[in-house]
Amino acid sequence: MRFPIKTLFILFSLNITSSADILTDKMYSFVGIQASYTNYDSETAPTIGFKYGKQTDTWRTALSYNYAQNTDNTYQSFIMQVDAGVLTELFKDIPIKPYLGFSFGVMEQRNSANEISKDRGLVYGINTGLNYVLNNSLDVDLGYRYMDSNKLRYIEDRGDISLSLHYYFD
């Protein structure tokens, strides 16, 4: 699965650089809180996260810190997520906004079962979801993110199903 994700990442990056709207659209800042159910290879853990980002009518970029813990493992990650609205003309008059994007960042796993071990590495992947606009200041986001890594020793991939609440200011 490594090749298709890298290919999608490159194609999406080319799309961003060729878009002139990103320079002319009004930017909105937001902060948010995120709750996720995360699958780390064969282990699962509930995850809590905090976000800060900027958004235009088309593009959204967010930085997030996520923390998860199960019986023996603690997981932390710092991830940048870039996404764009899809089917925007179809959904322009309703509050539901679908999106598609990519993510990359760093993740750390600590295992305290027998001997404390630490594993840290880069992760990258794709994300998709639905954003529901409540009003001009709040939205709710239901999303899925799949991330892969070739730098972590014990984890090859992770998948997140997340629910976020964003507050917009500026």
Predicted confidence (pLDDT) at residue 3 exceeds the cutoff of 90:
no
What is the predicted pLDDT for the residue at 20? 42
What is the predicted pLDDT for the residue at 165? 97
What is the predicted pLDDT for the residue at 41? 80
Q: Are 128 and 141 in contact (CB under 8 A)?
A: no
Q: What is the pLDDT of residues 95-115, one digit of tens each?
A: 999 999 999 999 998 887 766
Angle 100-161-49 from CA coordinates, rounded to 5°: 95
Domain 2-169 is found in CATH 2.40.160.20 = yes
Determine the residue type at 46.
P
Question: What is the pLDDT of the chain when averaged over all its residues?
Answer: 84
pLDDT band at 4 (very low <50, low <70, confident <90, very high): low
Q: What is the pLDDT of residues 62-94, one digit of tens each?
A: 999 999 998 888 999 999 999 998 887 777 788
